[in-house]
Structure 1
Amino acid sequence: MGWWKAGPNVLGDRPADALWTALDGVARARAAAGAPRPSLAEALGALGEALRAAPAETVSGGGAEAGRLRTVAPEGGASAAETAPGADLRDALAAALADVARAYGDAESRPPTRDEVLALFAFLLRPVPRAWLGEGADLPVAAVEAV
């Protein structure tokens, strides 16, 4: 599994896979129950809540510093902002953040920064359409930021 630099951030396949597995797992469980897939805004809300609840040993710049999340659209297009998530998605992403922290600890000997987690999430949002999302699945995303 690889690691790469993206500006000041160090990103990796293993932490991206942890986030992807959580998102895809919730989407599949909801589909099996006849419930709608998470919206982009709900996914942002779940990640935002998980980051705000994360201790410093899990995410550097988490907690109160995490801010509220929104997407940044390419060329000034439409963007999405976080909304309240379902507990299933929030809990899945909180558990995934622990896996992300372990991956960074193993490879980098430190926890990920908030900005690295946001860059990983944006990386997962770039392919369009996103089968694991409901509403907002076709919205182009250049980045995810905390405001």
Structure 2
Amino acid sequence: MSDWTVIEPLVEEKFRLEEKKFEFEKRKYSWAIASLVTVVMSIATVGVYSFASFSQNNKLERSISQLVAEASKSKENFMVLESELVKVGYEQKLLLSRLEALESANTETKSTLSLWVERTQEDIKTINALVKEGTK
């Protein structure tokens, strides 16, 4: 089994998590822009209503209530996004630590194999010497 077959799935998982993180960040900014547009539109609506006749006071109050409700919803969306980003960051750190552990184990395995090859070569030399002595 080659080293790459062990490490490749971890590397692929790392890239998948980075793509997921990028998508969450992209959504965060989309929500921020949408929220900003909503707030600007709501403020414009409030401005229009404030210049309207006094009989439209109820409509103004409803617009303000909608603005408050939309702001609360945006805050909840940002909180959900933030928790998802934290989770992705944790998964990425966990994956990195696993990759480091594999690299360490790989180094130990290479060292052990080198010692084994060295000892095997010494054994072959010893056997060859014994065979030469036996044929004399």
- The alignment's TM-score, normalised by the length of structure 2, stands at 0.27
- Considering fraction of residues, name the structure with more strand: 1
Structure with larger Rg: 2
